[in-house]
Amino acid sequence: MASRLSVLLLLVLAVSAVTVLAQRRRPAPKATGEWNYRDGSDRVNMRNVANLTEVLDNWKFDIINQMKGLLQNDHQSLLPDYARIQPLSEALDDLYKEFNALKTHLGDLTEKFAAIESFIDEVKASRSSSTNANTNTNADSNTNAGSSTGSAVAPAARQPGRRMVRKKPPTST
């Protein structure tokens, strides 16, 4: 009986030694709980991955088309009935009224600015015509005076309400 017990003890000791040595050779899994995506990557069949990707793309396309169809044709089945939500319904109604009021106010301002714009165009046209007339009369009088003096510089026409900047003539030494 003692020999059987010693054989059994020797067998248990041998099995435990083999188990410990086998665990030392194998790398220990990470204790962080992260998935090792490299584990088993050499056994992946790329053809199956391509097929799975194609299936998932087809599903995505079908789901999106169904959702688009439902939103266009039967949106009441997907979206909530906003009339039941009283505060939201009132807020949307107020927003709609305010938007329409702003739109009409913008139209009124556009009409007012059209009148002001035409007035400004008329004023600019009259100023440019009077400026052209003044420069023409000044140029005619300066050409007559310039023929007798030899060299005359025509004064620049001054627009009312604007300052004129004149350069000083260079001094000769």
pLDDT band at 149 (very low <50, low <70, confident <90, very high): very low
pLDDT tens figures, 97-107? 999 999 999 99
* pLDDT score of 35: 76
Q: Which residue has the higher pLDDT, 74 or 160?
A: 74
* pLDDT score of 24: 64
3-class DSSP state of 39: coil
147 pLDDT more than 50: no
pLDDT tens figures, 35-54? 777 777 777 777 888 888 88
Q: Which of 133, 135, 130, 129 is nearest to 154 (CA)?
A: 135
Structure pTM? 0.27
Non-local CB neighbours of 96 within 8 Å, separated by 6+ positions:
none
- What whole-number distance in Å separates Cα of residue 90 and Cα of residue 34? 50
61 pLDDT more than 90: yes
- For residue 126, what are its two tokens? 């009259």
**In the predicted model, what is the mean pLDDT of the chain?**
77
Please write down the HEC assignment for all residues of 2-27.
HHHHHHHHHHHHHHHHHHHHHHHHCC
* pLDDT score of 33: 72
* pLDDT score of 7: 83
φ and ψ of 102, to 5 deg: -65, -35
Percent of the chain with pLDDT over 70: 72
Q: Which residues of 74-87 are buried (b: 16+ CB within 10 A; e: fewer)?
A: eeeeeeeeeeeeee
* pLDDT score of 160: 63
* pLDDT score of 104: 92
